[in-house]
Structure 1
Amino acid sequence: MTVLELRQYTLHPGRRDELITLFEREFVEAQEELGARVVGTFRDVTDPDRFVWIRAFDDMASRHAALTGFYGGPVWMRHRDAANATMIHFDDVLLLEAVGDGFSATSRAAIGKGRRGPSRVLAVVWTGGGAEPDTATVERLLGVTPVLARTAPYVNDYPALPVRDEQAVVWFASYTWAGEAAAAQERLAAHPLGQEPGLEVLELEPTARSALR
């Protein structure tokens, strides 16, 4: 299994690139050395003050150890004031469990190795209270093979970082260029699934160091 966090931060106006620069310079290797894999880092295309990122852990025990080590360690202590100064809210977090191989090194459909340019990632987030959307239908509308994750059936054992208390399903889809993502969004919007109140589509632009592109 793989445990994932989908993290959405609301930032003070005009400070997103400041946080991204700090994050990519100081926080990627510092977390990965402790077992937290930074899968993707993104600018939200529709919101200039939102930073979105994904990190992965082998299991909940690895997550607890990595978070304890990082947030109690010297790198975060040295830079936390600068990072926190850019943020308004940092508690929009879904704790998920990947279905299948997730964002593993062998998941070529998910990780665009060496891919550069105006690529896009769509995160289709469903938190509706009814029946879960049919995955085959979502995949057909997206037009690519997504990585699927559902709310992890575990208690958040690192309460200093809260997570949303709701059931969610998320499909992560990667596109070579922005036009492909736009076409997928049009297909979703034209389908009854796109009208469901519990469905949100995040259009994400990978930052320079994002593995997921």
Structure 2
Amino acid sequence: MTEVLELRQYTLRPGGRDVLIDLFDREFVEPQEALDIRLYGQFRDRDDEDRFVWIRGFPDMATRGEALAAFYGGPVWREHRAAANATMIDSDDVLLLRPATPDTGFDVPASRPDAESSSLVTVTLYHLPPGAGDEFTELFVREVRPLLADLGATPLACLRTDPSENNFPALPVRTGENVFAWVAAHADQEAHLEHVRLLGRSTRWTHDLLPLLAKHFARGPEQLHLGPTARSRLR
């Protein structure tokens, strides 16, 4: 199970997203995975044509520091960094996360697809006060996760902020954040909308669980709507 994950959201120059995705899927996947970096997903943000989102993981923080130094100091990044960076306005929107409980990390197929898909991946982010999260995590995993599965959106992972110090400061991460995130995959946009409709009709959700969750919110939830690239494992 991956112990440390990065949720990376990039703001790109107009027209740059497909350029970066083509470069990324062609050049950056296998070289990272050869360094014990697990690439879980690369995505187009369906709500913003200039946003690229991806998720990668590491067995632990020590491996993260070593692997990132090797990749960003290595020949592949050296050859292609100018082309990649030319597409970007900002690449510092990064959350450092870990599985919320030992059994809520990603479990994705070993084989990697090589075709576009109409599937939709959602990442729902709950922002919590500093230092909070244990009670929220227990409630979500015990009560909310089974309900979401019953209503067509089985969480593929439940994650929370990893408070570890960033051990590769050349790549910044967001500090002062405390989030709980859950990730789900839907066959297509209509399947996602059907899940939303079912959730809205569930009194267990609207009357019981949502008010209990909302007591912990520091601000309103966010949800990312993501279209997997051709080589994204998550879909």
Same fold (TM over 0.5): yes
3-state SS, counterpart of residue 126 of structure 1 = strand
Q: How does 1:90-129 map to 2 (within 5 A)?
A: 90-98=91-99, 99=101, 100=103, 102-105=105-108, 117-129=117-129
Residues 154 and 19 (structure 1), Cα distance of their counterparts in 2 relative to 1, 3 Å cut: same
Higher helix content, 1 or 2: 2
Structure 1 gap segments, 5+ residues each? none
Matched residue pairs, number? 209
Residues 7 and 53 of structure 1 are in contact (CA less than 8 Å); yes or no, is this contact kept in structure 2? yes
1:137 to 137, 144, 165: 144
Q: Percent identity?
A: 48
Deviations 1:152-200 (A, max 9, x none): 1311111111111111111011112221222334566784569863310
Structure 2 gap segments, 5+ residues each? none
- The structure number with the bigger radius of gyration is 2
Residues 121 and 174 of structure 1 are in contact (CA less than 8 Å); yes or no, is this contact kept in structure 2? yes
Residues 160 and 180 of structure 2 are in contact (CA less than 8 Å); yes or no, is this contact kept in structure 1? yes
Which residue does 2:187 correspond to in 1? 176
Residues 128 and 198 of structure 1 are in contact (CA less than 8 Å); yes or no, is this contact kept in structure 2? no
Which residue does 1:207 correspond to in 2? 229
Opposite residue 104 of structure 1, the aligned amino acid is D
Which residue does 2:164 correspond to in 1? 154
Opposite residue 58 of structure 1, the aligned amino acid is P
Residues 168 and 101 (structure 1), Cα distance of their counterparts in 2 relative to 1, 3 Å cut: closer
Report the more deviating stretch, 203-212 or 95-104.
95-104
Opposite residue 38 of structure 1, the aligned amino acid is L
Following TM superposition, the consecutive aligned residue runs of length 4 or more in structure 1 with deviations greater than 2 angstroms are 111-117, 128-134, 136-145, 182-198
Residues 75 and 121 (structure 1), Cα distance of their counterparts in 2 relative to 1, 3 Å cut: same
CA distance in 1, matches of 2:196, 2:112: 24
Q: How does 1:76-95 map to 2 (within 5 A)?
A: 76-95=77-96
CA distance in 1, matches of 2:222, 2:44: 16
Residues 149 and 44 (structure 1), Cα distance of their counterparts in 2 relative to 1, 3 Å cut: same
Residues 128 and 199 of structure 1 are in contact (CA less than 8 Å); yes or no, is this contact kept in structure 2? no
TM-score in terms of structure 1 length: 0.87
Residues 10 and 51 of structure 1 are in contact (CA less than 8 Å); yes or no, is this contact kept in structure 2? yes
3-state SS, counterpart of residue 160 of structure 2 = strand
Opposite residue 209 of structure 1, the aligned amino acid is R
3-state SS, counterpart of residue 198 of structure 1 = strand
3-state SS, counterpart of residue 35 of structure 1 = coil
RMSD, aligned CA: 2.6
How big is the shift at 1:90? 0.5
3-state SS, counterpart of residue 64 of structure 2 = helix
CA distance in 1, matches of 2:9, 2:184: 17
Deviations 1:39-73 (A, max 9, x none): 10000011100000000111111111110000000
Residues 122 and 204 of structure 1 are in contact (CA less than 8 Å); yes or no, is this contact kept in structure 2? yes
